[in-house]
Structure 1
């Protein structure tokens, strides 16, 4: 791995040899090195959105799907059949806005025609769309599963030294597997960027907090303003003024930051809930008795995350993550509590990169607030497109631990 000393040595070699174009990729010293507190070798700026979701993920999906649909005989599916499967697959409530569009495999580019969030949604759901047609030990399928293993840690909002050490091994294993599976294909520069991810994690923490997705979302606001204004004379002033007016309105309003939005529902007595729920609610929520009036909401938007009944939440981790399905959303003294029906986690299915789950009998309930959850992001129950399979799965977006 290059360090500051080896970088300076390579710069000297370039400058000392006339007609030398570059040495180990270095053409000349960067002007940024003249800054007092900065050097290009101490730069940890990177972007998961462009590196992974718009780069490595789509490139490898394209290679693998081309192999399954065109390069083996008989092929597992055609491109048209694949897109029909994608269209008929249920992506659930949480991924309703990220459904993949038409998958493109015939273009000369390295992508499959998806946006970043669509690509993330697609690779997580791909095992349920085509996984039942693929053998367990298929090396091409293993490539995508190894990439998903890397992504579980890369996209985690929390990190530990152990996970960083594990990521180093996983990335090396993934890259070696890529070279053995597709010997005639080159690794992208974005594959090389992944090698630096463990070092960046050690220095700046979870990479999800520094990706470009938030900047892209902010930029979308300015695009909407420009499109609505229909006036492109001094467009910078137009969007800047509109943005400042919006900021002033939000800061002057009574609730500038809406942390809680409650949907419709009913005010009920606690005793109106199922009897087994009542006991758990009374024991868990301070100050609540069987005759306390509480509000049962159809949905809530809590700090930007929408929760509604039938979604799954990870509330604990023992040997395996423990999931509960939202049955009731209770509001008491402006606090939100989720009444979860406990589901049993059977095992981790590596072929589908998901946990097999089923409802637990006899029924059991727990009550949790958002801060008590292992992961605040809700999940959907997912099933394979194979109709004869009755197994239900849950596929978290990242590694789960306490």
Structure 2
């Protein structure tokens, strides 16, 4: 006789106990199997190890027992009083409250198929038909299996018949409710998890239409597809813990001396003063055009689409960057915006924002019952997207190309500081509109978003570090420097540089490893790297070529100055006075660029002059750059390629996006904060040491894992974390991760060694460290580290080791 350590039920043998685990405790994720026989306290990672232990140490216990529920020898048909009813109820899942109904599980499975951007919708139909065909063949197999079980336990034929009649319909009948796409969409719509795109006619045009084999010109409707934002937000904030988590995060930002979020900036603080006791959340609008076909093919531009996304900046940082939490609200053909104008295209967006501001949405969750209001925070996009959206000139060689100030084209080329006398204001804007002269004002048309109540054109347009720096200023500077070093100074060759690019260890940045640079591109001053690759190159350029460059080289100052600016722009915490420092650094960079290159400044250098003001008004600039929004484009591009059907493509892609969102809404919660790799049992002596060291509760679980992901950040052996500030407060104490523990299923514990920080090397723009001769082991909770962002340890050919911060502090 053996018994279950979870429910204390007795069983006649180990085979029955194993079946019991699989059947009655399938929802329990076993970390180990515990032996409680005769006071034994041992535990095992697998059932096989547990079985061998029982057979060796407690063999006398494996025998019949009067309380054993598997003891049916005296009256075989008494089994129906104990197990058959439970078996029937378990298989007939709709009657068991602890197990989700079959149609609910099936609906989530189908939603996950729809949510996969690589699967066209017609493939989902084939999967459902295949499942039905497969399950229809299970009837005979189920009948034979049940008969064999009943014969083994000497059960009557009536029991066998009941089991078969219960099993077969339970498996097959739920599929009937999902056999067609119309039934599936109807099911999701009734549950209010699928929010269908609305087709809106925005105009008409002549086009070729083929009817009865005859092609003719007819008038057809042009449509855009709009997804009501109010419905999305209402469902999103009704998900489990989303609103509570958001309000808790917003409350944690109050009275902080550093800025970490948009709501701490001067603009939003002034804006919320107009809402007395209302709970008001900010929203960002992002607009951009993107090509879903081959940008170099013969049909390039034909299927160029315009997309409007909305994000919620007051979510916790890692939530706001998750692509599923960025919502598509409008999709249209870019040519239609040119033909019919911004007023027609963006009207449904403006109406929805006015509704959210004045009426709000009703939320009824355990932590909140009432009305949530929303206000437009910022309009975002690349420079071309923003200018086309708000009605400014779309040529950056125009006489007045800046949307923030009225600097002339000639002055822009040499300006080092922002001229406050030239800043655009609402009054000057109205005057420029009345003048109606593009060449004298830089204004093409009245901004359509002035239709949003309370909108201020010169307070609510953001900046974009991605396009201004990574795809602008950085490319100009690095092209000039690499040309100088490889062609003039000849410190190294381009071939050597490319070899070092390929061989270098980038650690967590390996996904954005820079590719080789072509000589022709370099001569033209156009380094062809993506934004992510350029960011990686900027981070590690000091370690890549710093040992070739003399420490007194004048041109190297361009790089170090740019790195200082980038550290501020990418920092997630902005201290008081940082805006003034940024202004000075940008002025020095522009002056140095003019002096060394003998060239004039480009428009993107001028855009940086306004960054210190944006930093003060909006908080960290990295929280609203284009990087994550452009990653959102990729989902539609992949869906378009997998579909291979360009007919009414805006409807297809908008529907596909909403079906992806439907999967998240159907599950009722956002993605998990914590994920871990393979688990291992921690030896008892090691467990006791950790419990004593960190004052852990011995009743809570403690296991070791190979890797862990917390808030989308991956931790593994060899990661470098910032433990704390050094005693002189100018250096950091770095921690080399060696072991990862999972405590109580929701907390990470790291064990590793402290590195000795020697200095910050300005030339390499990295911290020089060394592994101490005496091992300095440290065990800490993840939340105790100064920064949760992992870095990497790089060793140069001279043997010196360096750490570069991926997230400036």
TM-score in same-fold range (> 0.5): yes
d(CA) in 1 for partners of 2:693, 2:437: 78
Q: Deviations over 1:1-55 (max 9, x none)?
A: 2468765559858977x99932xxx334851295563343324411111111111
CA contact (8 A) 1:54 1:111 kept: no
Number of the residue aligned with 2:692: 282
1:299 aligns with 2:707: yes
d(CA) in 1 for partners of 2:423, 2:775: 63
Q: Indicate the SS of the match to 2:770.
A: strand
d(CA) in 1 for partners of 2:696, 2:660: 39
Q: Indicate the SS of the match to 1:125.
A: helix
CA contact (8 A) 1:264 1:297 kept: yes
CA contact (8 A) 1:263 1:298 kept: yes
* Consecutive unaligned residues in structure 2, runs of 5 or more: 1-418
d(CA) in 1 for partners of 2:698, 2:755: 25
Number of the residue aligned with 1:224: 638
d(CA) in 2 for partners of 1:250, 1:269: 39
Q: Deviations over 1:244-299 (max 9, x none)?
A: 222222222376412111101311135237xxxx756632253259xx86211110
Which of 239, 247, 272 is matched with 2:661 structurally? 247
* Consecutive unaligned residues in structure 1, runs of 5 or more: none
d(CA) in 1 for partners of 2:433, 2:676: 63
With over 3 angstroms needed to count, the CA separation of the structure-2 counterparts of 1:399 and 1:5, relative to structure 1, is: closer
d(CA) in 2 for partners of 1:130, 1:71: 16
1:57 aligns with 2:474: yes
d(CA) in 1 for partners of 2:612, 2:684: 49
Q: How does 1:111-126 map to 2 (within 5 A)?
A: 111-126=526-541
d(CA) in 1 for partners of 2:569, 2:793: 23
1:102 aligns with 2:512: no
Aligned-pair CA distance for 1:153: 0.9
With over 3 angstroms needed to count, the CA separation of the structure-2 counterparts of 1:2 and 1:39, relative to structure 1, is: farther
Aligned-pair CA distance for 1:301: 1.4
- State the TM-score, normalizing by the size of structure 2: 0.45
CA contact (8 A) 2:720 2:737 kept: yes
d(CA) in 2 for partners of 1:257, 1:13: 49
d(CA) in 1 for partners of 2:438, 2:739: 69
d(CA) in 1 for partners of 2:534, 2:480: 14
CA contact (8 A) 2:572 2:808 kept: no
1:21 aligns with 2:21: no
d(CA) in 1 for partners of 2:532, 2:642: 25
Which of 333, 338, 356 is matched with 2:750 structurally? 338
Which of 572, 590, 604 is matched with 1:190 structurally? 604
CA contact (8 A) 2:432 2:443 kept: no
With over 3 angstroms needed to count, the CA separation of the structure-2 counterparts of 1:27 and 1:332, relative to structure 1, is: closer
1:202 aligns with 2:616: yes
d(CA) in 2 for partners of 1:270, 1:340: 19
Which of 554, 573, 578 is matched with 1:158 structurally? 573
Aligned-pair CA distance for 1:308: 0.2
Aligned-pair CA distance for 1:394: 0.5
d(CA) in 2 for partners of 1:57, 1:77: 20
Number of aligned residues: 383
Which of 674, 680, 696 is matched with 1:266 structurally? 680
From the CA coordinates, give the structure whose radius of gyration is larger. Answer: 2
Number of the residue aligned with 2:652: 238
CA contact (8 A) 1:105 1:112 kept: no
Aligned-pair CA distance for 1:140: 0.7
1:378 aligns with 2:800: no
CA contact (8 A) 2:433 2:446 kept: no
CA contact (8 A) 2:679 2:704 kept: yes
CA contact (8 A) 2:438 2:444 kept: no
Q: Indicate the SS of the match to 2:645.
A: coil
Aligned-pair CA distance for 1:382: 1.3
1:358 aligns with 2:770: yes
